[in-house]
């Protein structure tokens, strides 16, 4: 066997949390081998028909999958299969294949594969991460068509003989849908990224998963013992007894912690001396709202509406948006839902709006800038939110505000939409709150004047850090420079909270720092009013809030503000956190 060595650690990307321990099941798939064949003139039309038939059969197959996932997970996840169907209906690809068959007189699989590979190559050159990840979708779809043309049976994931961990070169979302909980303990793949659909589905189904393991699959024979650590994004191959024992203990502790944190669900997020913090959740998909509620979220602090089209690769119309916002309002009522208007651009791809090549997309045509350039598009979203607001629990939040002009211009458009609705006698919440994200340093510096024109602030540390430190948040080469606890960041946060409070508006945080347990006491100490975290982090953050005194947190924040080195600050906050919660953390080590 190639890897006799014990405890060999393979580092990948964490796609879905949790620990799985079990034997590896290699998912060997029949390799698609494509031959180039010449056709005689009279065979050509028959070949074109054969291609159309394969497309059709693939469509039927995908529609069935869509139906099944709608039943299991709801229509949100099923949207992916609409994207698949769109790929199958792509006129550009299909026309090229048909004319290739007719003009070159070659077999359908040869021409189809060539056209698809060329499309994939072009997309792979793109710097757009979202677009790059769609390569996996195109491959999954084209494999189905090729299987049909070549008479290869479509892969299915049969139940494993004994529960185990699936290891594959790559997996398609359709594969994850077929995995049975309890039978499949988790999965590991060589390809894939954090925000791929496969990762999203793994999280929704609760499968621990590690992706991006590069050559792990080919190094396995199958049947080896594995520890898959979805939190750390690593796989340990052939662990020795000691390692196995320690991970079994870690898995047990994580489960225990989950159970004990679950007891907190109905309790308020308040400090020991009764200072209340609004603890809400960030969501991307409508289906995430259930996880948020189950974990005790007091509302939705950030709904990233751009996922309405990122998930379906189509811009949602007014009706679809209205349905989505109404669904959330009803589901979360009487708690509040903050709908953030589209934040497209940057690393999020826009399908239909005017997209042009940009050397620096993060400094380019993104979020509120794009919305203000496309007032009809923006007004459609505002109208959909307003129409869904009758219950009185929706708020609007604007992303990427850099200064007063953008805020005032947005308010003008909002007022226009409101008057149009009044004229048509369409009911909406007249008192709907309008807030802005503070995620550009200029906005933090101008917080005092901005606060006079809006109802709340939510600090977006993900972007605030990248723009303040000039570090691209998606570039792994400079990830070490992306320092959440840089003194400049702490100063901007402090200033934002103070300026908000001076003007009597509440200040929250929806950037990832709100999800970092090391930061919780510090943020409470600065006087933050709301923390919006990832749904699964809510119980842990709540536990911290419930174990501290406000005064003590204020002192901590004061001390941290005196330090002027990121590493010192992080160490200082971490030490405080470890001191108080080390028994909790031992589950993670
Ligand atoms: C942020 O920038 O911190 C934020 C919450 O927005 P996003 O991550 O969607 O850019
Ligand atoms: Mg942001």
Closest ligand 1 atom, residue 460 Cα: 3
Question: 355: CA distance to ligand 2 center in Å?
Answer: 19
Q: Minimal CA–CA distance to 578: which of 568, 565, 588? A: 588
Lowest mean pLDDT across 99-108, 427-436, 580-589: 580-589
Question: 106: CA distance to ligand 1 center in Å?
Answer: 49
**343 CB within 6 A, ligand 1:** yes
**461 CB within 6 A, ligand 1:** yes
Please state the rounded mean pLDDT for residues 369-391: 96
**76 CB within 6 A, ligand 1:** no
Which of 283, 342, 511, 512 to mutate for ligand 1's pocket (most ligand atoms within 8 Å of CB)?
A: 511
Per DSSP, what are the bridge partners of residue 227? 21, 236
Higher pLDDT, 151 or 125: 151
CA distance 84 to 360: 30
User: Token digits for 11?
Assistant: 């580092």
User: Token digits for 576?
Assistant: 């405080």
Pairing type for strands 225-229 and 19-26 reads: antiparallel
Please state the rounded mean pLDDT for residues 467-491: 89
Pick the catalytic residue from 77, 155, 197, 486. Answer: 197
Averaged pLDDT score across all residues of the chain: 89
Which residues have CB under 8 Å from 62's CB, separation 6+? Answer: 81, 84, 85, 88, 141, 144, 174
Closest ligand 1 atom, residue 510 Cα: 5
CA distance 322 to 333: 16
Sign of CA dihedral 126, 128, 133, 139: negative
Q: Minimal CA–CA distance to 212: which of 236, 240, 188? A: 188
CA distance 482 to 472: 8
| Sole residue written with tokens 């709907």 | 432
User: What is the DSSP track for 222-246?
Assistant: S--EEEEETTTTEEEES--HHHHHH
Q: Would the pLDDT of 464 be above 60?
A: yes
Which of 130, 283, 285, 304 to mutate for ligand 1's pocket (most ligand atoms within 8 Å of CB)?
A: 304
pLDDT of residue 368: 96
Q: Nearest 5 degrees, angle CA 45-CA 51-CA 56?
A: 125
Among 123-137, 210-224, 530-544, 564-578, the range with the most confident prediction by mean pLDDT is 564-578
**463 CB within 6 A, ligand 1:** yes
Q: Nearest 5 degrees, angle CA 449-CA 460-CA 286?
A: 120
pLDDT of residue 157: 75
User: Token digits for 240?
Assistant: 């020795």
Question: 278: CA distance to ligand 2 center in Å?
Answer: 20
Tens of pLDDT, residues 253-301 = 888 877 877 788 889 999 999 999 999 999 988 878 988 998 899 999 9
**Contact yes or no for 235/210 (Cβ under 8 A):** yes
* Other beta carbons within 10 Å of 215: 10
pLDDT of residue 310: 63
pLDDT of residue 152: 82
User: Could you give the C-alpha distances from 29 to 153, 157, 168, in angstroms and in order?
Assistant: 10, 11, 9
Pick the catalytic residue from 77, 454, 486, 510. Answer: 510
Active site residue 510: yes
φ, ψ at 18 (rounded to 5°): 115, 165
pLDDT of residue 321: 95
| Sole residue written with tokens 């369409």 | 426
Question: 103: CA distance to ligand 1 center in Å?
Answer: 50
Among 110-114, 199-203, 479-483, the range with the most confident prediction by mean pLDDT is 110-114
User: Token digits for 61?
Assistant: 């197959």
Closest ligand 1 atom, residue 282 Cα: 5
Q: Would the pLDDT of 228 be above 70?
A: yes
- Name the strand (E) or helix (H) holding 8: strand 8-11
- Name the strand (E) or helix (H) holding 133: helix 129-150
pLDDT of residue 351: 43
Spell out where 439-529 has E strands: 456-459, 506-509
* Other beta carbons within 10 Å of 537: 20
pLDDT of residue 46: 95
Lowest mean pLDDT across 1-10, 33-42, 147-156, 342-351: 342-351
φ, ψ at 234 (rounded to 5°): -140, 160
Closest ligand 1 atom, residue 399 Cα: 6
CA distance 402 to 407: 8
**306 CB within 6 A, ligand 1:** no
Please state the rounded mean pLDDT for residues 468-485: 85
Q: Nearest 5 degrees, angle CA 530-CA 536-CA 539?
A: 60
Question: 511: CA distance to ligand 1 center in Å?
Answer: 5
Q: What percent of the chain has pLDDT over 70?
A: 91
User: Three-state DSSP class for 115?
Assistant: helix
Q: Nearest 5 degrees, angle CA 322-CA 325-CA 327?
A: 105
| Sole residue written with tokens 């290869």 | 152
Tens of pLDDT, residues 545-579 = 999 999 999 999 999 999 999 999 999 999 999 99
Q: Would the pLDDT of 196 be above 60?
A: yes
What distance, in Å, lies between the first and last C-alpha atoms of the chain?
A: 30
Q: Would the pLDDT of 346 be above 50?
A: yes
φ, ψ at 448 (rounded to 5°): -60, -50
Tens of pLDDT, residues 245-255 = 999 999 998 88
Band (pLDDT 50/70/90 cuts) for residue 85 is confident
**Contact yes or no for 532/282 (Cβ under 8 A):** yes
φ, ψ at 299 (rounded to 5°): 135, 180
Q: Would the pLDDT of 216 be above 50?
A: yes
pLDDT of residue 312: 57
Among 141-155, 213-227, 340-354, 486-500, the range with the most confident prediction by mean pLDDT is 486-500
User: What is the DSSP track for 486-497?
Assistant: -HHHHHHHHHHH
In this structure, the residue with its CA closest to atom 6 of ligand 1 is 460
pLDDT of residue 344: 82
pLDDT of residue 61: 84
pLDDT of residue 565: 97
Closest ligand 1 atom, residue 306 Cα: 9
* Other beta carbons within 10 Å of 258: 14
Strand order in the sheet with 8-11: 8-11, 234-237, 225-229, 19-26, 164-168, 184-189, 209-211, 13-16
Band (pLDDT 50/70/90 cuts) for residue 3 is very low
pLDDT of residue 1: 42
Question: 273: CA distance to ligand 1 center in Å?
Answer: 31
Q: Would the pLDDT of 200 be above 90?
A: no
CA distance 192 to 431: 44
Please state the rounded mean pLDDT for residues 208-218: 92
Provide the CB-side half-sphere exposure for 399 (13 A, CA). Answer: 28
Which string of b and e fits 148-166 if b means at least 16 CB within 10 Å? bbeebeebebeebeebbbb
**Contact yes or no for 299/335 (Cβ under 8 A):** yes
């Amino acid at each position: 066997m190639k890897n006799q060595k014990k405890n060999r650690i393979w580092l990948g990307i964490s796609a879905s949390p949790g620990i799985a321990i079990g034997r590896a099941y290699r998912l060997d798939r029949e390799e698609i081998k494509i031959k180039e064949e010449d056709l005689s003139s009279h065979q050509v039309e028959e070949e074109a028909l054969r291609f159309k038939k394969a497309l059709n059969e693939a469509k039927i197959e995908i529609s069935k999958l869509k139906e099944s996932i709608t039943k299991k997970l709801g229509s949100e996840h099923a949207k992916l299969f609409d994207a698949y169907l769109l790929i199958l209906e792509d006129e550009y690809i299909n026309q090229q294949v048909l004319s290739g068959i007719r003009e070159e007189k070659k077999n359908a699989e040869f021409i189809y594969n060539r056209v698809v590979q060329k499309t994939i190559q072009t997309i792979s050159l793109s710097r757009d991460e979202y677009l790059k990840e769609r390569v996996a979708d195109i491959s999954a779809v084209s494999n189905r068509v090729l299987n049909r043309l070549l008479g290869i049976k479509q892969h299915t994931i049969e139940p494993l003989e004994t529960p185990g961990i699936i290891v594959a070169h790559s997996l398609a979302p359709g594969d994850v849908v077929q995995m049975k909980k309890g039978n499949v303990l988790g999965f590991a793949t060589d390809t894939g990224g954090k925000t791929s659909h496969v990762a999203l589905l793994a999280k929704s189904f609760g499968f621990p998963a590690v992706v991006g393991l590069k050559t792990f699959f080919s190094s396995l024979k199958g049947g080896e013992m594995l520890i898959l650590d979805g939190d750390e994004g690593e796989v340990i191959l052939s662990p020795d007894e000691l390692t196995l024992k320690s991970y079994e203990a870690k898995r047990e502790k994580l489960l225990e912690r989950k159970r004990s944190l679950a007891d907190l669900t109905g309790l308020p997020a308040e400090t020991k001396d009764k200072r209340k913090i609004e603890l809400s959740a960030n969501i991307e998909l409508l289906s995430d709202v259930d996880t948020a509620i189950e974990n005790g979220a007091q509302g939705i602090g950030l709904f990233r509406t751009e996922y309405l089209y990122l998930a379906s690769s189509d811009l949602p119309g007014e009706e679809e948006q209205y349905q989505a916002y109404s669904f959330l309002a009803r589901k979360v009522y009487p708690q509040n839902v903050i709908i953030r208007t589209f934040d497209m651009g940057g690393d999020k791809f826009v399908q239909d709006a005017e997209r042009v090549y940009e050397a620096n997309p993060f400094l380019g045509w993104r979020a509120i800038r794009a919305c203000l350039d496309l007032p009809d598009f923006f007004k459609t979203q505002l109208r959909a939110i307003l129409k869904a607001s009758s219950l009185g629990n929706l708020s609007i939040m604007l992303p990427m505000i850099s200064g007063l002009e953008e805020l005032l211009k947005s308010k003008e458009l909002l007022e226009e939409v409101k008057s149009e609705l009044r004229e048509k006698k369409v009911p909406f919440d007249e008192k709907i709150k309008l807030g802005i994200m503070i995620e550009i340093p200029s906005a933090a510096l101008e917080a005092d004047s901005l606060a006079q024109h809006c109802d709340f602030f939510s600090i977006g540390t993900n972007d605030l850090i990248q723009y303040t430190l000039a570090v691209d948040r998606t570039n792994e080469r400079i990830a070490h420079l992306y320092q959440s606890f840089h003194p400049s960041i702490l100063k901007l946060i402090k200033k934002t909270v103070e300026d908000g409070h001076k003007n009597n508006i509440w200040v929250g945080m929806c950037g990832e720092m709100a999800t970092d347990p090391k930061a919780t006491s510090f943020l409470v100490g600065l006087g933050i009013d709301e923390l919006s975290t990832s749904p699964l982090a809510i119980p842990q953050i709540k536990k911290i809030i419930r174990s501290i005194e406000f005064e003590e947190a204020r002192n901590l924040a004061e001390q941290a503000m005196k330090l002027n080195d990121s590493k010192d600050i992080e160490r200082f906050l971490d030490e405080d956190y470890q001191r108080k919660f080390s028994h909790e953390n031992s589950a993670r080590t």
